[in-house]
Amino acid sequence: MAAEAATPAELQPRWKRVLGWSGPVPRPRHGHRAVSIKELMVVFGGGNEGIVDELHVYNTATNQWFVPAVRGDVPPGCAAYGFVCDGTRLLVFGGMVEYGKYSSDLYELQASRWEWKHLKAKPPRNGPPPCPRLGHSFSLIGSRCYLFGGLANDSEDPKSNIPRYLNDLYCLQLRPGSGVVGWEVPVASGEAPPPRESHTAVVTSSTAYKFRVAGINICGRGAFSEVSVFKTCLPGFPGVPCAVKISKVRRSGPISRQGVGQ
């Protein structure tokens, strides 16, 4: 007997507030990140009157929070960092570790045993490694992570913040299972998106992998909301990536950056 087709009401997205959980619930925060591993949601870092260094895990199947007993090279707390999940390993790059002080450190968390490891990636052959930053995007495509944009501080004194918005693009080659090979600077053609931070990058796949970048940018011409697409080669096939701007919409009102916990 053929299964009945879903009705439009059944296909419509619906929000539902989750109640009745148990366990140590994370305190309120902002600038944190979360990823999923099967039925688990892993939450790390953020800001709440300072930088939070806690790791919390929520089990969606049992409606329970727990704090795993982590070991290894446990990173300091950070906010507005890059966070990706590759199988059961998680990668953390950059972020704010205290007001005005940004990081370019790379950490790996093996969730199968809750073990942290501080990774050292080889610098690119065609340029410097990524500078310390926050508010960047960090997107996993196959065995590579793509880092784009963010906000740097050009002041040597963290109390004297000199912001510099970024639109650089890096590719981090991963080793299978654990570890990384190194950074690359992709040879890109087309018009690169203007510098930005606190944006979002979404990975899509059709005939080739793509990630789309949207959000705030500061480029000396005012504030914009813009979407750009970056297309990578098919896995296993040589080719030149390209960046193509596909839309631009003018926004109104100034944009400011406040320090975490300020």
188 vs 129 pLDDT, higher one: 129
To the nearest whole number, what is the mean pLDDT of the chain?
81
Residues 30-40, mean pLDDT to the nearest whole number: 95
Compute the distance between CA of residue 155 and CA of residue 22 in angstroms, rounded to an integer. 44
Task: Quickly count: other Cβ atoms within 10 Å of residue 202's Cβ.
Answer: 13
Q: What is the mean pLDDT of residues 187-207?
A: 83
At the top level of CATH, the class of 33-204 is mainly beta
Between residues 232 and 185, the one the model is more confident about? 185
Average pLDDT over residues 143-166: 92
Residue 67's pLDDT band, with cuts at 50, 70 and 90, is: very high
Mode of pairing for the β-strands spanning 71-72 and 115-119: parallel
Helix (H) or strand (E) holding 98: strand 89-98
Q: What's the mean pLDDT in 110-127? A: 96
pLDDT at residue 260 greater than cutoff 60: no
CA distance 113 to 158: 36
CB under 8 Å to 153, separation ≥6 — which residues? 100, 101, 102, 132, 161, 162, 163, 164
Query: What is the spatial distance between Cα 136 and Cα 81, in angstroms, rounded to a whole number?
Result: 7
Per DSSP, the residues of 105-151 read: EEEEEETTTTEEEEE-PBPPTTSPPPPSBBS-EEEEETTEEEEEEEE
pLDDT at 65: 97
More confident residue, 93 or 221: 93
Q: What is the pLDDT of residue 204?
A: 81
Q: What is the pLDDT of residue 253?
A: 38
pLDDT of residue 222: 42
Query: In this predicted structure, what is the pLDDT of residue 9?
Result: 66
Distance of CA 221 to the CA centre of its chain: 26
Q: What is the mean pLDDT of residues 98-111?
A: 95
Structural domain spans, the chain: 33-204
Asked if 160 and 130 count as a contact pair (C-beta separation under 8 A), the reply is no
Task: Give CA–CA dist 52/146, Å, rounded.
Answer: 25
Q: Which amino acid is at 83?
A: F
pTM for the model: 0.79
Distance of alpha carbon 35 from alpha carbon 32, whole angstroms: 11
